[in-house]
Chains A and B, each alone.
Chain A
Amino acid sequence: MSEVLLSATNLGVKRGNRWLIKDVNISLAAGQITTVIGPNGAGKSTLVRSLLKLINTTSGDISAIKGLRIGYMPQKLKLEDTLPLTVARFLDLGRHKQHQLSPQLWHNLLHECRTEKLLNRPMQQLSGGETQRVLLLRALLRRPHLLVLDEPVQGVDVTGQVSLYNLIGEVRNILGCGILMVSHDLHLVMAATDQVICLNQHICCSGHPEQVTQDPAFTDLFGPQGAGNLALYNHQHNHHHTSHGDIIAGQHNEDCDHG
């Protein structure tokens, strides 16, 4: 087993009378990609933010290896238009005095993240996908032991999402860091993940992706539709519904039951 970088036991965050997350146990190891999935409002970001010590927890313990360096990619970056900041300067702010990337690795990652051409652009003029790649690159600058990505593909179109997930997998191979990733879209994350955690206030189920998709708790959480989308697709929807639910005769197959 690879080294455990950060772990939490019985983690709980209570705001008012409501537990945002409760009794969460999580363990993040070097070289491993862990993905937290769950519906909106399940407490995914709360979990990540409490692990990063950005918010106070109500219960539980968090322990980390000594000198743990974390690279964090926030959900989104909202920059004031009044701040003149180029991509190069933005990246510069994330550099660590002692822990720098070697020039070779820096160029490597710069190339992987396809950011060479963006360096002199103002941050505010980047597209959604470009911003995410720059944020990822910044998170890598400190040679993190652990990379934490909160909804990394937000605001990125589908082709961009695929390449961003590929890039994240690539980065793991290059740096050998552990990765904790939050996502609410189920389709794309599964392939590149070692450990999946389904969160809905508490951990519903966790484990390898194949294992988790078989779990009844997983189906409960996302509904048969969502879960079915993930497992090998077995129901081809070959007709359309009107807004009343009536079936519209369309491009039917020969073996269709209706129509």
Chain B
Amino acid sequence: MADFLLWAWLGGLMIAAIAGPLGSFMVWRRMAYFGDTLAHAALLGVALGLLLHVNISLAVVLVCLLLAILLSTLMHKRIIATDTLLGILSHASLSLGLVSLSLFDHQNIDLMGFLFGDLLAIGQQDLMWIALACALVLGILVWIWKPLLSITVNEELAQVEGINVAWMRTLLMLLVAVVIAVAMKVVGVLLITSLLIIPAAAARRLSDSPEQMALLASLLGMLAVSGGLALSWFYDTPAGPSVVVIASALFFLLFSFPRSFSSS
């Protein structure tokens, strides 16, 4: 097997593994559109990173986090309906990112790569960063799992029981931002949410507990990454979209099973 394919596969597996539990939270908390908005803003982060000559991943995390905080403040103030707000900010940040990227005269800005991912371009160094980011996210996620689950079930109940709800929410957004920054390599800003949401949604049918769903989502995501890469390798299809196609196929396959398939 070619080295670059191995790196791509390993990187994809790690991101799919971490996307499982995080994506489950996004499904439970109805954050799909929210995640989309953050992912689109990642492009703006790329542009800023290039402009200010800082590490692109770092710029992406910072921009996503800033937008996440801005979003939750605006949502809290209820100036306009949340979906409208997300719709505006999502496409505004995507367009702003595209416009600012177009201002650069760089020959080597791979716009398609940012938009749809460039899994096969993952190198050994990227892999190290992915591993580090995934370990960090996983560690924090395990550490705050119970309070995070508590605020997902009911925020007011959690707050009365002494959990710092605002802090937990911010942490979750931070984790999403980190995963977006590293997953951008694999599926690109336009498809990141699907890698988070689809495996989690597919796992729902087979799960009886939150942990089961998170774990299954990871496994399904890893299956999708492997299948997508194979598809890309043998039929020369774009890697990112291929992963999403396989993930969607898994989702529809699992949902066509009757519910009795599960243990309860």
Chain A residues at the B interface, C-beta cutoff of 8 Å: 49, 52-54, 70, 72, 74, 77, 79-80, 82-86, 89-90, 93-94, 96, 120, 122, 138, 142, 148
Contacts and interface: CB of A to CB of B under 8 A. Distances in A.
Given A86-B208, A89-B209, 9 more contacts: A53-B159, A72-B156, A77-B153, A80-B29, A84-B210, A84-B213, A85-B153, A86-B209, A93-B149
B38 to A, nearest CB: 20
Contact of A82 (B27, B156, B160): B27
Contact of B210 (A53, A72, A74, A85): A85
B188 to A, nearest CB: 25
Given A72-B156, A90-B153, A84 B208 contact: yes
B212 interface: yes
Contacts of B150: 93
Nearest to B262: A84
A90 B152 CA distance: 11
Contact of B264 (A83, A89, A122, A138): A122
Nearest to A78: B154
Contacts of A148: 160
B207 A54 contact: no
B214 to A, nearest CB: 10
Contact of B28 (A83, A89, A93, A122): A83
B contact patch SS: helix
B201 interface: yes
Contacts of B210: 83-85, 89
B28 A80 contact: yes
Contact of B160 (A70, A77, A84): A70
Interface string B119-158: 0000000000000000000000000001001101110110
24 contacts: A52-B156, A52-B159, A53-B159, A54-B156, A54-B160, A70-B160, A72-B156, A72-B160, A72-B161, A82-B27, A83-B28, A84-B204, A84-B208, A84-B210, A85-B210, A86-B208, A89-B209, A90-B153, A93-B149, A93-B150, A94-B161, A120-B264, A122-B264, A138-B157
Nearest to B201: A82
Interface in B77-129: none
B202 to A, nearest CB: 11
B159 A85 contact: no
B161 A142 contact: yes
Contacts of B154: 74, 77
A80 B213 contact: no
Contacts of B204: 82, 84
Contacts of A138: 157
Interface residues of B, number: 24
Contacts of A77: 153-154, 157
Interface of B: 27-30, 146, 149-150, 152-154, 156-157, 159-161, 201, 204, 207-210, 212-213, 264
A236 B241 CA distance: 73
Contacts of B161: 72, 94, 96, 142
Contact of B30 (A80, A89, A90, A93): A80
A53 B165 CA distance: 13
A192 to B, nearest CB: 23
Contacts of A122: 208, 264
Nearest to A83: B28
Contacts of B207: 84
A86 B263 CA distance: 13
B164 to A, nearest CB: 12
B153 A93 contact: yes
A48 to B, nearest CB: 10
Given A89-B209, A93-B146, A122-B264, A83 B152 contact: yes
A82 B156 CA distance: 20
B153 A84 contact: no
A234 B223 CA distance: 73
Query: What 5 A-B pairs are tightest by C-beta distance, nearest first?
Result: A72-B160, A83-B28, A84-B207, A82-B27, A93-B150
